[in-house]
Amino acid sequence: MTNLFERSSTVDCDQNCLFAYHANPGALNRLIPPWEKISIEKRSDSLSVGSEVIIKNSLFGVPVRWHAKHTLLDSPKHFQDIQLSGPFHSWCHDHFFEPVSSTESILRDHIQFELKFGALGKIGMGIVRNKLQSMFEYRHHTTQSDIRLQQFLSTWTTNAPLRIGVTGSNGLIGRRLVDLISVLGHKAIRIVRPSSAVDLSDFPLSSEQVVWDSKSGFRETATVENLDAVIHLAGKGIASSRWTDASKQAIRSSRVDGTQALVRDLSSLSNPPKSLVCASGVGIYGSCEDRILTESSPTGTDFLSELARDWEQAAQEYEKTGNRVAIGRLGIALHPREGALAKLLTPFLLGVGGRIGSGRQYWGWIDVDDAAGAFLTLAIHPECRGPYNLVAPEQVDNQTFSRTLGRVLGRPSFLPAPAFALRLLLGSMADSMLLASTRASSERLQKLGFPFRNPTLESSLRHVLGR
């Protein structure tokens, strides 16, 4: 028996713009929900008839490959893909783009499918429909939000597509950023260390890769000449291991020394990038109770504060080339499979989550795609200089964060994690990263008109968790 699923949304752009978004490299990556552990084994980054995609997922822990083929294309109205092999007995997905006006169009996904195993397969129909509902809610919201960001940036991107270098592209935000750059019609240049050079199947085919080493510089410079911007995200993970003198020195070296070397090598190019955007963190302010922190607030004195301050100073040296430098002071980027949120999910799903320490400390947070969009904005906007707090407009204390996460997951959130236990487990890292209070304000970013896609904690959690 053939089943039908359909989802429609009105999107704030014309038909051609909406179709072009789906045709651009990076669209496949952008529209995969973050809660799904999916990898791409074969891609074409094309909607042309006959092009194929193979993705790898898991179903209840069992690896599943989905092999799909594009079978119809009627630009800019419609394209179709079908399953050649995969979890369904049959699957036919029609993507329709219907004009409403010069500023609006309708995105309509029409799916006909049959489950495997006949009558037995019908037992899982409710699960399948719920997964489709969550998936396409995510896809439509992401499409609308990406296009709004594209329209916001269009004031400064009216000429040829931009060429933007990205370090740290294998990281949480870097991957989302490379995909975002590509789907908005620009070209991402991945600047990678020799040990990080990877197969490009995880990235849009339009992206390029250039190898750079802090000691020997760029393996070849032609690719990085005359870039419009470089967004520098690379650095050893701050929470990847317990802090010791050796691990803190490694963290510092990867950020401060690495940034000094990158600035040196970019500055020596014949045509250096027009702007450099460097990551930093709201930890630069230290722990400040409930005081609202702006970019002009004094910096702290602990390890993270001194690290961020020296990191930013290293990046600011690039101004000596006569080009622009902007700093993105990042809060906790919310993603269900990486970073702080991923570590919180297991205890909350088991019903043993709750506030950390007193719960009165503020956690600066931001939706992972708002973080990527903000870094791209700092790279493109010609007036962006100096530091910007990359956090959401709604900032909450840890107790409110915990209650909101519990509510979104439908789980209790009453079991606290005592401060003394965290200090025993993590040492000084607990005070700097979990118990410190950083109530950072994003007012400077808001004044640019930046279009936050998920400005509240609950909207962001529901979006990235598919709830």
pLDDT, position 60: 62
Q: Which of 369, 344, 329, 363 is nearest to 454 (CA)?
A: 369
Least confident of 258-262, 353-357, 377-381: 353-357
Give the torsion through C-alpha atoms of 295, 298, 303, 307, to 10 deg: 50
Residue in the block written with tokens 């963290």: 251
Helix (H, G, I), strand (E, B) or coil at 449: coil
Would you say 269 and 284 are in contact if contact means Cβ atoms under 8 Å apart?
no
Residues 139-160 have a mean pLDDT of 93
**Token representation of residue 375:** 């870094």
> Distance between CA atoms of 374 and 396, rounded to whole angstroms?
20
Name the residue with higher pLDDT: 248 or 230: 230
**Residue 211 to residue 189: CA distance in whole angstroms:** 10
Q: What is the pLDDT of residue 381?
A: 96
Average pLDDT over residues 212-225: 90
| pLDDT exceeds 70 at position 421 | no
- Taking only the tens place, the pLDDT of each residue in 23-55 is 999 899 999 999 988 888 888 888 999 999 998
387: preceding bond cis by omega (within 30 degrees): no
Domains along the sequence of the chain with CATH = 3-153 (3.30.530.20), 163-465 (3.40.50.720)
What pLDDT is attached to residue 431? 60
pLDDT of residue 41: 85
Q: Whole-model pTM?
A: 0.94
pLDDT given at position 351:
86
Comparing 13-22, 115-124, 150-159, the range with the smallest average pLDDT is: 115-124
**Model confidence at 309: pLDDT above 60:** yes
For 307-332, what is the mean pLDDT? 95
pLDDT of 339 strictly over 80: yes
Query: ∠ CA(456), CA(108), CA(460), 5° rounding?
Result: 10
Nearest to 27 by CA among 105, 100, 79: 79
Closest to 445 (Cα-Cα) out of 149, 139, 11, 142: 149
